[in-house]
Structure 1
Amino acid sequence: MNHIVRLDEARAPRSPASMPESIVLGMPHLTASGLSEGWLLRELGHRHWLLLAAMAGMAVPDFRDTDGEPVYAAFSALSIRDTAFGEARENDVLTLSSEIARVSRTQVMSRHRLALQDRPIGTVELVSAFVRRAAGGGNHAVARVALGGLPPVEPGAAPGGLAALAAAFRHGRVGAHLGFALGRIAALAQATFDPCPSQDFNGAGFLYFTSFLAFVDRAEWRFARERALSAATIRRDVFFRGNADPGETIRVVLLDERPLPGAFAHRCRIERCGDGAVIADLFSIRRSPDAAPADGRRKFFEGPARRRE
């Protein structure tokens, strides 16, 4: 990562109490299956935002365009890799090591390494682009903007890794990912949700990026309740395409699935119900002691919950 800014080198002042690098885990940080993915991503999203301010030499992350209108960092992709979230227990110490770098004119990527009792338990990468709302467009119409004050992109540098993969997804240049052929579009099942403004939207009024994952987990719970009961994420890749306004319903569509040894994998898409627009593609590999054997004879999602709503 070029022009890296690390949290312990940030120029923006921060309080050790509000941005600890080591956290004693308690109920807010845990679920029945271990480390809370929702809490973790909210924490890392906040760190990403503060690191952006540090990269720009700002005391607080108050980004604005030339007209003085607020500019936000919208996540275009995230990747959770090599995780052992199921090992986390109350009173364990989680250590977060975070850094951020500019990867293109409008994009930055942060990388967060996780350790539990000094043992690595995974890495999370977040790619964001600066955006602003079009006048009167709500959450459907946003435009990318380039801001000054950030370190320059090195001459000849091109987005790599997750940023390049996200761009390829946006332009339809990816044929397969995590073992799934992307040409398959037949829905195996779907679940509809009505996002709640007080729970699922952030302070900027956007459907928050962590809510996308929460809807997929809720759909998984509907589709495969027994096996989802003890599921913990091993790998998750999410590619964001759009957003929704308060009052709009969304649906999670299960497009593909496959069993793995002691685990299961699925590919989902989130759509706005009103216009059918795809707002995210999600690929998940989840560990579960009740998962089907990897011989292809039993699918993970089976039974009456597979019906379309």
Structure 2
Amino acid sequence: MTPTPAHTPAPAPAPAPAPFQVLDPGTVRRRVTVSPAMCGHNSLFLGQVGDWTWETVGALCDTDVLAAKGAGGDPAYLAFFYYRVRGSREFHLRSPTFGDELDVLSRSFDFGSESVLTLHRISSTTAAGDPPEPWDPAAFHRGPAPGTLHVENFNRWVSRRHADSNRGLVPASPPDFHHTRLPALPEEYSPRPVYGRARRALTFREDTAGEYRSVAQGFTTRYGIDITRDLNGVGLVYFASYFSFVDQAVLRQWRALGRSDRSFLRRRTVDQQLCYVGNAEPDSEFEMTVTVRAAAADPAEELVDVVVRDAHSSDLIAVSTQRVLRDLEEAE
């Protein structure tokens, strides 16, 4: 009688990686499943990345970012001052959708007691069990690999000057903001010259004579703050709402050029930079000016500048530049 071979049990599956890990004094890693509340043709995903920035800084600096207070005891907020997101034609800001698995590597850098820079590498391609590849600011600024988004957030600690006003926010660093444990950023990768130039020139477009031709300029539209959706939980205008304000202006200009809403939804924003100059009161109205330029070598690539001002005082509120790819071969 032939003996029955012993049953060999299947190897145990490798344990799933933790959803949140601190890898070193400046780096954290997340495994994220995209839910409906964090994606779409609006600012939801950008708001989610902002939450990751706060979570990263809190974990690395031992700071309760959600309940921080300045030295005088007033609430302090890690406000967004500069935001950039870069992708590609194949994987861009609107690509993540229901159920996608993302691997997010986030790294924060020391900018003193009042500011912090956080870089995110958001990937759809890393296998669950693989360790993340090492990376540094040089690799980050060379641009994202296929299936990857790069996001840059520069934040400043601020507090209200007056309890009943959103204007004139002042620096306010929490005493327990332990920033010196973060790595230093090489000066050549500092965002300060980038957003400083944008505030002066009202565009992030560098001087590239002949590379772009004018498509439309001087288009102006207005937007009144919607207090039912544009304010955050402490009554400030929510940082991610500014991306919606910009898209509202771009859409209105898009329609004025005779383009369809469907073609607007098909466009791919592969690079967007936004500098926040000030917050606004809940009853504010913005005046937004849009300029569109097309690449001379490829008319399907456009640079779109949006300058946001207070409609009544003309104070500068924000500057945004988008690099957009659109489908010329498809009907508008």
TM-score (norm 1): 0.75
Please name the residue that 1:204 is paired with. Answer: 234
Once the two structures are superposed, the pairs formed by residues 1-309 of structure 1 within 5 Å of their partners are: 8-9=21-22, 21-31=30-40, 36=41, 38-58=43-63, 61-83=66-88, 84-85=91-92, 87-118=95-126, 120-135=147-162, 138-149=165-176, 150-152=178-180, 160-170=189-199, 172=200, 177-178=205-206, 188-225=218-255, 226=260, 227-259=263-295, 260-290=298-328
Unaligned runs of 5+ in 1: 1-6, 12-18, 293-299, 301-309
Aligned residues: 272
Task: Work out the CA distance in 1 between the residues paired with 2:116 and 2:251.
Answer: 33
After superposition, the C-alpha distances for 1:123-154 in whole angstroms (9 at most, x for unaligned) are 00100010111125611111113443323388
Task: Work out the CA distance in 1 between the residues paired with 2:201 and 2:230.
Answer: 31
User: Structure 1 residues 144, 24: closer, same or farther in 2, change over 3 A?
Assistant: same
Moved over 6 A (4+): 153-157, 173-176
Task: Work out the CA distance in 2 between the residues paired with 1:159 and 1:131.
Answer: 26
Task: Work out the CA distance in 2 between the residues paired with 1:129 and 1:159.
Answer: 20
Q: Which moved more, 1:233-242 or 1:42-51?
A: 42-51
Q: CA deviation at 1:37?
A: 5.7
Task: Work out whether residues 242 and 280 of structure 1, in 8 Å CA contact, stay in contact via their aligned partners in 2.
Answer: yes
Aligned AA for 2:179?
P
Unaligned runs of 5+ in 2: 1-19, 127-145
Task: Work out whether residues 267 and 281 of structure 1, in 8 Å CA contact, stay in contact via their aligned partners in 2.
Answer: yes
Task: Work out the CA distance in 2 between the residues paired with 1:136 and 1:92.
Answer: 41
User: Structure 1 residues 289, 256: closer, same or farther in 2, change over 3 A?
Assistant: closer
After superposition, the C-alpha distances for 1:180-221 in whole angstroms (9 at most, x for unaligned) are 78xx9x952112111212211111211112111111111222
Aligned AA for 1:279?
I
Once the two structures are aligned, what percentage of the paired residues are identical?
17
**Larger-gyration structure (1/2):** 2
Task: Work out the CA distance in 1 between the residues paired with 2:122 and 2:71.
Answer: 37
- What SS does structure 2 have at the residue aligned with 1:201? coil
TM-score (norm 2): 0.71
